[in-house]
C-alpha cells in the first residue's frame, strides 16, 4: 500500500476508532437498554445519530410508514430508535447468530417487542412477504479496505457478506412504489452509492454530511432516497463537535430523546463513549 493510500485509509478508519469504543457491555438509553457483549460491532455515535436523523426526517416530512425493514440490525439499536417514535412494524435482518440472539433479547425487554421482528438470515436468504414503506441500513463499511482477523467483526464492519451493489439492488426490488430508504456510509463512498442509485432509477431526497468537528472534513454520509424524484433534493451538513470540542447544539438536540442525559464534551467525561 503506497503512502498516499495509507494516509487516506487512516482518515477513514480513525473516526470509527474514536466513536465506536464502548467499554460497557450495555448502553442505557431513556426508554430501552442495548446489551452488546455478543455483538461484534458496538453502539457508535454515528449509528445513534443516524437513527435520530431518520426519526427527524420522518417527522419533519410528515411521512407515514406501516412496514419497515432494517438490514444488518446488529444489536437492534436502529429498529428500537424508530419503534420508540413511530407506529410502525419492523422486520430486522441479521446474519450473525449471536448478534441476532442478542437483538431479540434487547427487543423483548421493550414495549415494542411485538413491533420488531428479528430474522437470523443473510439478506440473500431473506424472502419478504410484502413491499416495505421504509428500508434502512447501517451496512458493512470499508469495501476493499483493511479487514480484521475477527471474522464476526469482519462481516459486521466490512462488506464481506453484503456489498453496496447487492444492498441497493435489494432495496430497489423490495421498496414500495411510494417508499423511502436511508443508508449510513463513509463519506468517501458517497459518489459510488449515488452512481448505484442512478443505475437503479432511485433518487436522492436528502443527504446529511457529517463532520467529527468544525475543523474536520466529512467522515459520514446519511442519505435518504426514493423511487420517485423529488422536486428539490437537499444537501445538509452538521458537526458533532464545535471548535472547543463541545458537542454542538444540533447534535445534542437530535439525541436528547434517547440519551439519559445530554451529551457532554469529551473533557467533561460524563458522556458515554459511543
Q: What is the pLDDT of residues 84-94, one digit of tens each?
A: 999 999 999 99
CA distance 208 to 196: 18
* List of domains in the chain: 13-254 (3.40.50.150)
The pTM score is 0.83
Distance set, CA 235 to CA 54, 221, 238 (Å): 15, 10, 10
Q: Indicate whether 100 pLDDT > 50.
A: yes
Percent pLDDT > 90 in the chain is 69
Per-residue pLDDT tens over the stretch 2-40: 444 333 333 333 333 334 444 478 889 999 999 998 888
Nearest to 133 by CA among 183, 88, 176: 176
Confidence of residue 261 (pLDDT cuts 50, 70, 90): confident
Average pLDDT over residues 243-266: 85
Residues in the chain: 274
CA distance 266 to 245: 7
Average pLDDT over residues 248-270: 76
What's the farthest any 2 CA atoms get from each other in the chain?
51
Q: Indicate whether 173 pLDDT > 90.
A: yes
CA 243: distance to chain centroid? Answer: 26
Question: Mean pLDDT score of the chain, rounded to an integer?
Answer: 84
- The pLDDT assigned to 161 comes to 66
Amino acid at each position: 500500500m503506497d503512502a498516499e493510500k495509507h494516509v487516506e485509509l487512516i482518515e477513514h478508519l480513525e473516526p470509527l476508532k474514536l466513536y465506536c469504543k464502548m467499554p460497557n457491555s450495555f448502553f442505557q438509553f431513556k426508554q430501552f437498554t442495548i446489551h452488546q457483549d455478543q455483538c461484534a460491532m458496538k453502539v457508535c455515535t454515528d449509528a445513534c445519530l443516524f437513527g435520530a436523523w431518520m426519526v427527524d426526517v420522518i417527522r419533519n416530512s410528515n411521512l407515514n410508514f406501516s412496514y419497515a425493514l432494517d438490514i444488518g440490525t446488529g444489536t437492534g439499536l436502529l429498529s428500537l430508535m424508530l419503534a420508540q417514535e413511530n407506529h410502525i412494524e419492523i422486520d430486522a435482518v441479521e446474519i450473525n447468530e449471536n448478534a441476532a440472539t442478542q437483538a431479540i433479547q434487547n427487543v423483548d425487554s421493550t414495549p415494542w417487542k411485538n413491533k420488531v421482528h428479528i430474522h437470523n438470515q443473510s439478506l440473500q436468504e431473506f424472502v419478504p412477504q410484502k413491499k416495505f414503506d421504509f428500508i434502512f441500513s447501517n451496512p458493512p463499511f470499508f469495501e476493499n479496505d483493511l479487514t480484521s482477523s475477527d471474522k464476526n467483526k469482519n462481516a459486521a464492519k466490512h462488506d464481506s457478506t453484503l456489498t453496496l451493489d447487492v444492498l441497493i439492488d435489494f432495496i430497489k426490488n423490495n421498496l414500495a412504489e411510494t417508499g423511502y430508504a436511508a443508508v449510513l456510509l463513509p463519506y468517501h463512498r458517497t459518489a459510488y452509492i449515488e452512481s448505484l442509485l442512478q443505475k437503479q432509477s432511485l433518487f436522492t431526497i436528502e443527504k446529511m454530511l457529517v463532520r467529527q468537528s468544525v475543523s474536520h472534513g466529512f467522515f459520514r454520509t446519511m442519505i435518504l432516497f426514493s423511487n420517485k424524484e423529488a422536486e428539490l433534493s437537499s444537501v445538509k451538513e452538521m458537526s458533532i463537535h464545535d471548535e472547543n470540542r463541545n458537542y454542538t447544539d444540533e447534535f445534542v438536540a437530535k439525541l436528547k430523546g434517547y440519551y439519559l442525559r445530554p451529551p457532554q464534551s469529551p473533557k467533561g467525561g460524563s458522556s458515554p463513549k459511543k
